[in-house]
Every structure is written in structure tokens, then in C-alpha cells.
């Protein structure tokens, strides 16, 4: 591990020199790439430096144990330094784990009402609000690509692009079936209903990830319409894009410009095709499949939101939090961190 860390330190210093090179600073694309790698290595290098300092302090205190003046003080310091050293070593192991190549990417978030009629649509709206609130706190940008309302304040479906720092890294474990248990507003007898909503989190595909032949696309244009069939505008701006080989259909009608809707639809299509390929690769890698908390499979029930008991349960890691209202306000940090910690622990087991 320490031989690997020494190589990382050398690479980090190389990147620091490159960031001061005028040739790189005048090339935005190259500068962004170098700066990104430098940022990724920063925490690892700083943790390694802290580890080395703590190790040196520990060795120094052990040498002072027999000193008549400083021996007692050194003896008191040693347990604390040993604990710190162990914590730094564990952190280094985690930081050295293979990175998910998609962690830095923006995402397309798809939320669809499942079983439960209007109640499922209302909960789909609740979940979209939850993720939007979380994105707002993180300083991310949320842009709706397409949405369809239920007419009672709910959502049949919504597709949104979320862009910012480490979006996929934070939200990649949110894909799957989210189940809600509560008394619907329309229920006069007070009976608890169970409804479901499916969530898909797809990393945005770059041109190098997915190449689409225009001959494989069927593009239809139409007028975008609002609730009740009312026309939103008087031009044929809505775009329905069909990928002929897979049968995947993307509808985009949020923009008033047909050109913008077409560009957005193509991005969503690329993300869906990339996601299909990504899951296929994971299924082929059996060891990696075992270590996953979840792959975003839409049929996998991942979480239950129980309103009568005010609790949220994540079934993959057996975690129950009695913070339902707070979580639906976008305070999902603890869920994200616990899922990430579980995933990292599974990776460490496999690395041994």
C-alpha cells in the first residue's frame, strides 16, 4: 500500500507543476482534466502526509518512554497517537479503492409513478421535491427535461438533468423502487395504502461513451401540450426520439425550441443506452455485483417511507431512520453516507 502511496505523491507533484504551466492554463479542456485529477488526489496525499506525521510522532514518543522528565507525558500520548494512526490507515485503504469512473458525471434522474394510482403520482412529486431540495443545498443545477402531471398535484413521470460536483457519486444508490405507506388524502376511512414509485439514476454519457448512428433514429415532432390538452405553444416544438435498434423512446417537450428539445432528447437517449451497457458489464463481473448496494434496477425494492410511524427504512442495508419529514425535505445525507460506507466496506472485504 505504501509503495502505491509514494507513486501517488509523485504524480500529485507532477500535476501541481502542470497546473502552473502556461501551455496548460491556456488550454481549458486540458487544464480542467489536470485540475480534476489533482483534486481527486488531494485528499489522499493530505491523509498520507498526516499519517506519516502521526507515525513519526508515535515513534518519537516511544523513544521518550525511558526519559525521566518526559516519559510520563509520552506514555499518555501514545494511546491517542496509536488510535489516530489506525484511523488514518483505514482511511487510506478506502481512498485507494478503485474509483467509479462515473462518480464525477452529471446525471439524468427519472421518477415514475408505479402502483397506487393518484397516490403514487403524489409521492413521485414528493420524491422529486426531495431530490431537488438536496440538489439545491449542494449547489447543483436541476433542469427538467420532460414531465407529465396527474392533474391532482402529482407526477406521472419526470425526467431531469442534475449537474454539479460529484452528482452521480452522491445519488447513484437511489435507483430502484421506493415504497410509500400512508393514508391518502382521498381515503375517508383512514385506511393505509401502499404505493410505489420507480427511480432511475443514469450518468450522463459523453460522446466517447456512446456513439449513435443517425440512421438508427426516428424523430417525430409535435406540439407540446399542457394539462387537459391545452397548447403550451403554437409551434411543433416537442420531440419524440425513437432508437430503432433498441426501441427506446424519449419524449422531450419542456423547451419552446424544437432544436433544444432534440438536443436534450439525444442526451437522455445516450444516457439510457450507456446505462444498459453499464449494468450489463456489472452483471458480467460477478464479484463486483456482490459488492454493489444496488445497481439501480427498477424492479428492486430499496426503500420504504412509512408515514404513520414517521420512519424511512433502506432494505439493502437494514437501516431505519425516524426522520421522515426531514428526509423528504431533502436531508438525505445520512442515507447517502451510510450506503457509501456499506459499499466501501464490501469493497474492502473483496480487496483482502
pLDDT 10s digits, 266-286: 999 999 898 888 877 766 655
Among 95-109, 272-286, 318-332, where is mean pLDDT lowest?
272-286
Specify the pLDDT at position 224: 65
Helix (H, G, I), strand (E, B) or coil at 80: helix
Beta bridge partners of 235: none
Phi and psi based region of residue 153 (left: phi greater than 0; alpha: psi -120 to 50; beta: remaining): left
- Out of 182-191, 240-249, 327-336, pick the least confident: 182-191
- For range 249-268, the mean pLDDT: 86
Spell out a b/e string for 231-250, using b for 16 or more CB atoms within 10 Å of the CB, else e. eeeeeebbbbbbbeeeeeeb
**pLDDT for res 23:** 87
| Prediction pTM value | 0.76
CA Rg value for the chain: 25
- Mean pLDDT to the nearest integer, 88-96: 88
Between β-strands 155-163 and 141-149, what pairing exists: parallel, antiparallel or unpaired? antiparallel
Compare 285 and 123 and report the one with higher pLDDT.
123
pLDDT exceeds cutoff 60 at 45? yes
Q: How far apart are CA 87 and CA 90, in angstroms?
A: 5
Q: Which of 174, 177, 176 is nearest to 196 (CA)?
A: 177
More confident residue, 80 or 349: 80
For residues 260 and 253, give the distance between their C-alpha atoms in angstroms, rounded to a whole number: 9
Mean of the pLDDT values across residues 251-272? 87
Q: What domains sit in the chain, N to C, each tagged with a CATH number?
A: 2-95 (1.20.58), 107-346 (3.30.70.1660)
| The pLDDT value given to residue 110 | 94
Give residue-wise pLDDT tens across range 221-254: 887 654 444 444 455 788 999 999 999 999 988 7
**Average of per-residue pLDDT values in the chain:** 86
What is residue 288's predicted lDDT score, i.e. its pLDDT? Answer: 47
Question: Cα torsion for 145, 146, 149, 155, to the nearest 10°?
Answer: -60
**Which pLDDT score, from 0 to 100, does residue 150 have?**
85
Q: How confident is the model at residue 4 (pLDDT cuts 50, 70, 90)?
A: confident
Amino acid at each position: 500500500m505504501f509503495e502505491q502511496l509514494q507513486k501517488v505523491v509523485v504524480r500529485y507533484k507532477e500535476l501541481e507543476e502542470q497546473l502552473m504551466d502556461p501551455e496548460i492554463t491556456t488550454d481549458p479542456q486540458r487544464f480542467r482534466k489536470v485540475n480534476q485529477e489533482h483534486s481527486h488526489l488531494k485528499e489522499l496525499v493530505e491523509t498520507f502526509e498526516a499519517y506519516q506525521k502521526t507515525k513519526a510522532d508515535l515513534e518519537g514518543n516511544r523513544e521518550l518512554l525511558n526519559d525521566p522528565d518526559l516519559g510520563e507525558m509520552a506514555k499518555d500520548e501514545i494511546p491517542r497517537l496509536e488510535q489516530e494512526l489506525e484511523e488514518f490507515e483505514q482511511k487510506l485503504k478506502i481512498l485507494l479503492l478503485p474509483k467509479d469512473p462515473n462518480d464525477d458525471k452529471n446525471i439524468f434522474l427519472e421518477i415514475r409513478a408505479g402502483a397506487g394510482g393518484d397516490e403514487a403520482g403524489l409521492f413521485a412529486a414528493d420524491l422529486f421535491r426531495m431530490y431537488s431540495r438536496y440538489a439545491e443545498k449542494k449547489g447543483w443545477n436541476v433542469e427538467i427535461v420532460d414531465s407529465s402531471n396527474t392533474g391532482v398535484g402529482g407526477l406521472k413521470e419526470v425526467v431531469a438533468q442534475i449537474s454539479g460536483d460529484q452528482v452521480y457519486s452522491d445519488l447513484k444508490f437511489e435507483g430502484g423502487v421506493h415504497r410509500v405507506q400512508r393514508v391518502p388524502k382521498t381515503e375517508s376511512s383512514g385506511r393505509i395504502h401502499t404505493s410505489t414509485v420507480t427511480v432511475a439514476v443514469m450518468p450522463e454519457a459523453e460522446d466517447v461513451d456512446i456513439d449513435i448512428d443517425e440512421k438508427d433514429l426516428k424523430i417525430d415532432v409535435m406540439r407540446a401540450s399542457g394539462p387537459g390538452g391545452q397548447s403550451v405553444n403554437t409551434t411543433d416544438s416537442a420531440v419524440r426520439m425513437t432508437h430503432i435498434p433498441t426501441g427506446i423512446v424519449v419524449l422531450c417537450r419542456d423547451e419552446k425550441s424544437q432544436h433544444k428539445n432534440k438536443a436534450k432528447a439525444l442526451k437522455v437517449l445516450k444516457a439510457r443506452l450507456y446505462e444498459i451497457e453499464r449494468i450489463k458489464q456489472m452483471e458480467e463481473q460477478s464479484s463486483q455485483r456482490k459488492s454493489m448496494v444496488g445497481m439501480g434496477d427498477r424492479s428492486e425494492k430499496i426503500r420504504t417511507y412509512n408515514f404513520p410511524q414517521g420512519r424511512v427504512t433502506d432494505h439493502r442495508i437494514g437501516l431505519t431512520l425516524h426522520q421522515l419529514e426531514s428526509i423528504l425535505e431533502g436531508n438525505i445525507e445520512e442515507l447517502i453516507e451510510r450506503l457509501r460506507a456499506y459499499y466501501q466496506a464490501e469493497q474492502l472485504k473483496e480487496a483482502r
